[in-house]
A and B are shown apart, each in its own frame.
Chain A
Amino acid sequence: DAGVIQSPRHEVTEMGQEVTLRCKPISGHDYLFWYRQTMMRGLELLIYFNNNVPIDDSGMPEDRFSAKMPNASFSTLKIQPSEPRDSAVYFCASSLTGGRAPNEQFFGPGTRLTVL
């Protein structure tokens, strides 16, 4: 089975441009998470969805960031306008409802974003 798929794998853009990152979770998984990883701040949760509904977006840095999950097999993270400080690796992860605690998360390969 295919794992979590992310595209693009690398994105280089100029400040002020719109950036859209895409994620296809593992089929059947009902949780989807978006993370950002930098050397300074580590692995940060931005937002997560359950059954396509956003549950907690408190980690989204500011209004320039938005995320959608129009169906169970697709999610996007959009940055508009982008800034150099948005440069990071963005991971998407999915998981299946477990028992009484969060289940293991399966991470995609990540998108390395560079904003010049």
Chain B
Amino acid sequence: QQPVQSPQAVILREGEDAVINCSSSKALYSVHWYRQKHGEAPVFLMILLKGGEQKGHEKISASFNEKKQQSSLYLTASQLSYSGTYFCGTAAGSARQLTFGSGTQLTVLP
């Protein structure tokens, strides 16, 4: 089942902060975040694993609440280059495939 992302869209000014949420009705083993710019392919940002391990982007942070089956992506001091659509992808157990949410469109204005 597809994870639910919120908000669907957000507009902010350069330098402002944003939080994007991802929640699932299934028990999760890992949560993956990708960013897609218009007309381009999704690009990997971060993986969060059950148990607290993380791998990913230097300037973007995220959290993973295993009990609530939720993850949040924190974009601080947004830059113009952060604009794009952010997708969370979830994996249950040892499955290697991801199920992606519907995306959050982030627009950063000067």
> How many residues on chain B are close to A (CB under 8 Å)?
25
User: Which residues A26-54 have CB closer than 8 A to chain B?
Assistant: 31, 33, 42-45, 48, 50
Question: Known interface pairs A42-B2, A42-B102, A43-B87. Does A102 touch B96 (Cβ–Cβ under 8 Å)?
Answer: yes
- Specify which chain B residues have a CB less than 8 angstroms from the CB of A31 in the assembled complex: 96
From A42, A48, A102, contact of B100 by CB (8 A): A42
**Contact in complex: B40, A102 (CB < 8 Å):** no
Bound-state CA distance A91–B43 (Å) is 12
**Interface residue A85 (Cβ < 8 Å from any Cβ of B):** no
Interface size for chain A: under 10, 10 to 19, 20 to 34, or 35 or more residues? Answer: 20 to 34
**Contact in complex: B49, A101 (CB < 8 Å):** yes
Surface stretch bound by B, among A11-19, A63-71, A106-114: A106-114
Bound-state CA distance A44–B103 (Å) is 12
User: Which residues A86-111 have CB closer than 8 A to chain B?
Assistant: 91, 100-110
- Give me the interface of A with B, judged by CB distance under 8 Å: 31, 33, 42-45, 48, 50, 55-56, 91, 100-110
